Structure 1
Amino acid sequence: MAKRRADGLSKEVIVQAAAAILDDGGEAALTFRALTARLSTGYGAIYHHVANKSDLLAAATDAVIARVMADAVVEDEPREALRTVSLGLFDAIDAHPWVGAQLSREPWRPALLEVYERIGGLLVALDVPEQALFDAAGALVNYVLGVAGQNAANARLLATDRSAFLGDVAAQWAALDPERYPFVHRAATQLREHDDREQFLAGVDIFLAGIATLH
């Protein structure tokens, strides 16, 4: 049960309000002044539960990751469960871009430990050899969080018109010398039409295919 002061303000309520501010305006918007205004309370009520902005960011990140882990019920076979967990993390970081930045900034916090534990446990269930387990888990976690974080950053940057931006880049690629840039030239059409989520999941499948060869 969440610890609650006599004024009814719990840490859970504070964290939810902080997450809403982060979603609306990013890390720069999260100040204790903004938080007290949103919650119609004083600074003391906030400091009773969180020590500083870093503590608040970590708590909000932990809450988002905890929801992903809770929603990704592992009832499928391990490979499908890994796809579900990976996609859940991708969607969560896409919805809350600040989460990816926080995980990179403080990798020792509980949120990242939960990610490693879930993915590592599923790799154990896939019978990945012990000597390859640490590297396999690290590679997959780094791929998932790295791509998810970059996608979220790009989405913020291109929030106005992603399709127009990709169309412009694709046109530039298509205009390149096909002898010097044969792959880039061929990929121009796919760049314009690709779905970030589907491409991410294709990458997860490539990792899982590689992991399957470790037996």
Structure 2
Amino acid sequence: MTSVTTPPRRRAEALTRGRIVEVAVELLDTDGEGGLTFRALARALATGAGAIYWHVANKDELLAAATDAVVADALATESAGDPADRVRAVALGLFDAIDEHPWVAGQLSASSWQATSPRIFEIVGRQVRDLGVPHARWFTVTSVLVQYVLGAAAQNAANARILGPDVDRDEFLGAVSTTWEELDPDEYAFTRTVAEQMRSHDDREQFLAGIDLVLAGISTLAPG
């Protein structure tokens, strides 16, 4: 009796570095950094780990490539308008990208001067230059903008991760707002007065308001 052997499952497309990075992003989105292993990646790609190592040396390189891919995609959209409008567009692109891929925040924080960060610094810096900021202030002003964008986006992603998918945001903010309203009126006079604003705030609008505050400060540096 002739035995029948099941043929190995074939990949639907050629294995490339780009495809590996694409699947790595998907794994990071669903399982986090801990879920990104070469075994899981090989299984998702229907290949062997050795084939992946041909394109990517190790997990650190893979994480850097995945981060760079997400950031490059976020910065790819051309924005019309003046330099301030372009700053807002870049900032929102990064905010939304980190909101969608929360693991990116940790990667940017861990490698602040590595490959991806100069990409962000360059595009923000060009807008700072076009806003008329004196050359001697370019580094400081660009750094402040980048730090605000990445810091606020990272905090937003961290908040979402803490709440988790099963927690209703409106209910959570309502409960916190009520707690603020019940604080001691002498010790927390200010906090009590903004409790309702905290309850109804929109994270994205609040982020953009921060960008506008930074831009207002920058405008005082430009001649004329």
**Interval of TM-score (by shorter of Structure 1 and Structure 2):** over 0.9
What residue in structure 2 maps to residue 191 of structure 1? 198
Structure-1 separation of matches of 2:64 and 2:214: 29
Structure-2 separation of matches of 1:74 and 1:84: 6
Deviation at 1:157, TM superposition (A): 1.5
Deviates more, 1:57-66 or 1:104-113: 104-113
Q: How does 1:2-81 map to 2 (within 5 A)?
A: 8-71=14-77, 73-81=78-86
Match of 2:105 among 100, 113, 116: 100
Deviation at 1:124, TM superposition (A): 0.1
Deviation at 1:102, TM superposition (A): 0.3
The share of aligned pairs that are identical, in percent, is 52
Give unpaired runs (5+ residues) of structure 1. Answer: 1-6
**Between Structure 1 and Structure 2, whose CA radius of gyration is higher?**
2
Q: TM-score, normalised by structure 1?
A: 0.94
Deviation at 1:74, TM superposition (A): 3.5
Deviation at 1:179, TM superposition (A): 2.3
Deviation at 1:178, TM superposition (A): 2.4
Deviates more, 1:81-90 or 1:105-114: 105-114
**Matched residue type, 1:26:** G
Count residues with an aligned counterpart: 208
Match of 1:212 among 197, 206, 219: 219
Structure-2 separation of matches of 1:178 and 1:203: 28
What residue in structure 2 maps to residue 173 of structure 1? 180
Deviation at 1:131, TM superposition (A): 1.8
What residue in structure 1 maps to residue 5 of structure 2? none
- Which secondary structure does the structure 1 equivalent of 2:194 belong to? helix
What residue in structure 1 maps to residue 10 of structure 2? none
**Matched residue type, 2:153:** A
What residue in structure 2 maps to residue 82 of structure 1? 87
**Matched residue type, 2:72:** A
Deviation at 1:146, TM superposition (A): 0.5
Q: In proportion to residue count, which structure has more helix? A: 1
